[in-house]
Amino acid sequence: MTTLAIHNGRVIDPALGRDGIADLVIVDGRISRVGPNEGDMVVEAERIDASGLVVAPGFVDLHVHLREPGFEYKETIASGTAAAARGGYTTVCAMPNTRPPLDSRAAVESVLREAEASARVRVLPIGCITSGRAGKELAPAGELAGAGVVALSDDGDAVADPSLMRHALEYSTRFGLPVAQHCEDPRLVRDGQMHEGWVATRLGLRGRPASAEETFVARDIALAELTGAHLHICHVSTAGSVALIRAARERGAHVTAEVTPHHLTLSHEEVAFGGSYAELTYDTNAKVNPPLREESDLEALIAALRDGVIDAVATDHAPHATIDKEIEFDLAAPGISGLETAFGLAMRLVHEGRLSLPTLVERLTVGPVRAWGLDRRHGLEGLGTLAPGALGDLVLLDPEADWTVDPERFASRGRNTPLAGRTLRGGVVATVFGGRLVHQTERAVAL
C-alpha cells in the first residue's frame, strides 16, 4: 500500500464546491480522504507540504497534438505528455492529425499502446470524423468508438461539406461521441495567414476573417439542432462565435465549447509587435489557426468563460520544430506549443480580476470532463474531482509565482511560443498522476 499525504494546501475542488485549507490523502492511486488534519491520521506516507499552495484536480486538456505517429521530430507521446505533466495536466485528449491519421482501430490502438509504454499522463485519443481527414467520407465511428476514442475531430481542418457534416453529426449519436469541429470555412480563409484586420493590412499579410469562423459555427449549430447531436466547438476565437454559442445553449442545443489561453490573452497585434511596439516583426510563433483576434474578441471570450458559455480551457498544444517556424510567414506552420505555459498565461485573467481562481480551475478540470462526459467512461469515474474514490490525479499550484518563459527548457520538443522571455505569474509546483509524482519543482517541499 502506497500513501501520499499532501498537507495544508488550499484545496479547490469545483465539482464538490470545496475551497479551503485541508489535507489530502491518496492511497494506492485513488483519493482516500480530504479534510483538515486528515494527513496527520496517516501513519506511514510520503508527505508534501502544500502550505501556501493550491491543490486542485489534475488538469484535463480536450485538445492537444502529440504528433506521434508521423511527426516525431515535432513531438512524441513521451515528450508531449512530459510537457503536459509540467503544465499540470494529468489527462490529455490527442488530436488525430497524425500520419497515419487516427481513422482506424489499428491506428488508435497503436497510439494507446505507445501511451501505455511512454506517456507520463493519461492519453485519450480522438478519432477522425472523415477517413484520412480528407473531408470526403465518414471514418468508421463505431470502430473508433470501440477502440476507445473519446470524440471525433478533423481538427486542423473543418469538415467543409455541409451534407457530410450533417451526416457525421447524425451518425455520432449512435455512439455518444462529441463531434469536435475546427470552425473555419476554408473558402473564406483561402490562404489567409492571420486575423483579417488592421495588423494584417499593416504587414501586407492575407487575412482570415472572423466570419470564416462564425459562418461555420452558425452552420454547425444549425446542423447539431437538426440532428440532436453533440457538437463541440474547438478553440472559439471571436465575439461573434460566442454570441452564436450562447444563443444555441439558451435554446437547449447540445453545444459545448473550448477556448485556448492564447486566444483569451493575446491579440493579433502579437504578430507584428510582439507586445512591445519597439520593432516591427513577423512573429511566426504567433501564427496560429484560428488566428489571434482583437481586444473586443478577447473581452467576449473571457466573459463567456466566466459565465460558462465556454466549458473548458484547452491548449490546442501544437508543437513544431524550428524549421517549421523559422521561415517565411506564409510558409510557417500554424500553432503554439502551449501545455507548459497554459496555467501561467490563463492566470493573467485571475490576477487582472477578470476571472476567479476557482472558476479557472473548474474550466481546467471538471468543466472539460463534463463537457465531453469523460467521467461516464469506464475507469474514469470521478475524473476532474478530488472526491474520495476518485483518481489520484492532482496538481499543486503557486498562483503568485513569477517565472520567465524559456522555451529551451520546455519538456515539449515544440519551442514555438510567442511568450519566450515573458514573465508569467502562476506556476505548477507539482503534478500527481495516479498517486505518483510525475512532475515537481523545488517549491514542492517534502515533509
Whole-number minimum distance, CB 351 to another protein, in Å? Answer: 16
What the block records as the C-alpha cell of 305 is: 468563460
- Read off the DSSP letter of residue 291: P
Cis peptide before 100 (omega within 30 of 0): yes
- Cβ(287)–Cβ(208) under 8 Å? no
> For residues 21 and 323, which CB has a smaller minimum distance to another protein in the complex?
323
Q: Is 19 a catalytic residue?
A: no
Whole-number minimum distance, CB 94 to another protein, in Å? Answer: 28
Spell out the alpha helix ranges (H) of 126-267: 141-147, 162-172, 186-189, 198-203, 210-227, 239-250, 261-265
> For residues 267 and 385, which CB has a smaller minimum distance to another protein in the complex?
267
| Nearest partner of 165 among 103, 244, 222, judged by Cα | 222
> For residues 4 and 203, which CB has a smaller minimum distance to another protein in the complex?
203
Whole-number minimum distance, CB 265 to another protein, in Å? Answer: 11
> For residues 294 and 393, which CB has a smaller minimum distance to another protein in the complex?
294
Query: How far is residue 197's CA from residue 289's CA, in Å, rounded to a whole number?
Result: 15
What the block records as the C-alpha cell of 148 is: 476507445
Q: CB 129: neighbour CB atoms within 10 A? A: 32
Spell out the alpha helix ranges (H) of 42-161: 77-86, 105-118, 141-147
What the block records as the C-alpha cell of 135 is: 473531408
What the block records as the C-alpha cell of 133 is: 481527414
What the block records as the C-alpha cell of 255 is: 453545444
- Site of grid cell 495567414: 193
Whole-number minimum distance, CB 328 to another protein, in Å? Answer: 4
Whole-number minimum distance, CB 329 to another protein, in Å? Answer: 5
Q: Which residues bind another protein (CB under 8 A)?
A: 196-207, 267, 269, 273, 275, 277-282, 294-295, 323, 326-331
- Of the listed 13, 316, 393, 398, which one is catalytic? 316
> For residues 2 and 201, which CB has a smaller minimum distance to another protein in the complex?
201
Catalytic positions: 316
